Structure formats: C-alpha cells, structure tokens
C-alpha cells in the first residue's frame, strides 16, 4: 500500500510468530488479532497488529498462560448426557445426501483458496 502499511497472510503471520495457522485463526475469530478482508475470500493482517498478541509474561501472566492452556482441553465441561442427546437429535441428518458430491464440493472449495484455511 502507498501509506507504508504492510500486510501479511495468515500463513505468514503464523510463521512470523512461530505458531500454527489454527492459532492465528482462533485469535482472529476471538478478536484478539485484527484482520482485514481483501476481496470476498482473502484475509490479511497488518504486520504492526501482530505485536498486539505478544505480551510479556510476568507474575499473574504466568497463571494466565496456564489457564489458557487448560482451556484448550476439549474435555473441559464435557457432559456425556448432553453429547448423547445431541447425537440422538442429529441422527439421520445426513441421510439421503450424495456423499461423493459433498466430498467433491468440499475439495473444490479447498482448491479455490487452500492457503490460510484452518485444518
């Protein structure tokens, strides 16, 4: 851009901060990291905004890091009864769906813009 603002892609941001692309996407979705849409499908991040997610770990910050790590545990708040009920309600939801056509559509979507998508 002519005003000197530099942008990077999600994979570039991940490499810059040495984190996964999924982490970058999670930060974007949680609004911890600001991102900009370029056209209908492209996402860019201002390089100067990458510093917003980097902060020192001091005193209470150490506990916050441990708490954040614990919050990524997929079984936190797991309720077997709720899971069984949700599965019961969704049973048969995909019945009659053309599996090969769905998979083909998903592959075509990925090929259109595969870089920067979470996996």
pLDDT tens for each residue of 33-77:
999 999 888 999 999 999 888 887 776 555 555 555 555 566 667
What is the number of structural domains in the chain? 1
Specify if 48 maps to a domain: yes
For residues 55 and 33, give the distance between their C-alpha atoms in angstroms, rounded to a whole number.
13
Specify if 111 maps to a domain: no
Higher per-residue pLDDT: 35 or 88: 35
CA dihedral angle for residue 19, residue 4, residue 36, residue 106, rounded to 10 degrees: -70
Specify if 23 maps to a domain: yes
Tell me which residue of 38, 41, 37, 9 sits closest to 24, measured CA to CA: 9
Specify if 72 maps to a domain: no
3-state secondary structure of 23: helix
- Which two structure tokens, joined as six digits, stand for 3? 């005003």
Specify if 12 maps to a domain: yes
> Which CATH number do you get for residue 32?
1.10.1660
Specify if 119 maps to a domain: no
Specify if 87 maps to a domain: no
Q: Looking at the whole model, is its pTM more than 0.85?
A: no
Structural domain for 7, as ranges: 1-55
Place of tokens 């892609």: 9
Specify if 37 maps to a domain: yes
pLDDT digits (tens, 9 = 90+) for 3-38: 788 999 999 999 999 999 999 999 998 888 999 999
pLDDT for res 68: 56
């Amino acid at each position: 851009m002519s005003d000197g603002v530099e942008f990077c892609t999600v994979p570039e941001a991940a490499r810059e901060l040495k984190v996964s692309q999924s982490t970058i996407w999670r930060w974007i979705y949680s609004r911890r990291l600001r991102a900009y849409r370029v056209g209908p499908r492209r996402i860019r991040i201002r390089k100067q905004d990458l510093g917003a997610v980097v902060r020192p770990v001091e005193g209470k910050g150490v506990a916050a890091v441990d708490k954040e790590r614990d919050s990524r545990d997929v079984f936190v708040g797991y309720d077997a009864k709720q899971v069984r009920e949700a599965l019961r309600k969704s049973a048969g939801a995909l019945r009659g769906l053309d599996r090969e056509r769905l998979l083909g559509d998903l592959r075509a979507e990925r090929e259109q813009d595969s870089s920067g998508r979470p996996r």
